[in-house]
Amino acid sequence: MWMAAFCNPLSAREADPVLGVGLDLVHVDRAARLLEAHGEMLLRRILHDNERRGKGLRPPPEHLATVLAAKEAFFKALGHGLAGPFDWPQAEVAAEGGATLTPRGPALAALQARGVTHILFNVGELGNIRFAFTILWRNGHAR
């Protein structure tokens, strides 16, 4: 059902289950340069404590690229980019063993205020690119 609505903007409006869509991609090389340039200062700014556990002092750039893409895709679905009103740690991303996204704090409150009941979320890779998409859904339309 969600694919039919997703592929047909008119039916999406009629049923109105989709509250936001976000897509983003990040080059691993760019994430590596960012990590090299700013290290701990960058990680403190963008990662939730849970995202740092088990990753050592520095996560691999491939992982950082995935996390950045995922956070931005989520915030875009909420109607913002990374330069929006939310702190980046408010979207906690786990990319291994089935990607999950856990909104926290004001980001979670924003979802609840908009009536979001489901987050369709996944990440992927294509060569040196890591990408993520998010669809915000409401009222049990997600399957």
Partner 1 sequence: MPDDGTLVSETGLTFDRIFGAVRGILVETLGVPEEAVTPEAVLIDDLGAESIDFIDIGIRIERTLGVKLPTREWGAFARKERGQLPMAELAGLLETGYAVRLSADEQEELGKSGLKGMCERIKEHHGVEIPEGARLDWARRGMERHAAAFESLFLQKLPAAIFERLVALASVDAYSEEFTRVLRRLFTVRAVCEFIAARLAGQEEG
Chain residues binding partner 1 by CB under 8 A are 24, 26, 30-31, 33-34, 37-38, 41-42, 45-46, 68, 72, 79-86
Tell me the closest approach of the beta carbon of residue 72 to partner 1, in angstroms: 6
Question: What φ, ψ does residue 126 adopt, rounded to 5°?
Answer: -145, 100
Residue number, 26 or 135, with CB nearest to partner 1: 26
Tell me the closest approach of the beta carbon of residue 5 to partner 1, in angstroms: 19
Beta strands in 34-106 (DSSP E): 91-94, 100-103
Which residues contact residue 60 at a Cβ distance below 8 angstroms, ignoring those fewer than 6 apart?
A: none
Tell me the closest approach of the beta carbon of residue 37 to partner 1, in angstroms: 7
| Other Cβ atoms closer than 10 A to 126 | 8
Question: What φ, ψ does residue 38 adopt, rounded to 5°?
Answer: -125, -15
35-43 LR contacts (CB < 8 Å, sep 24+): 35/59, 35/61, 35/64
Residue number, 32 or 99, with CB nearest to partner 1: 32
Tell me the closest approach of the beta carbon of residue 90 to partner 1, in angstroms: 12
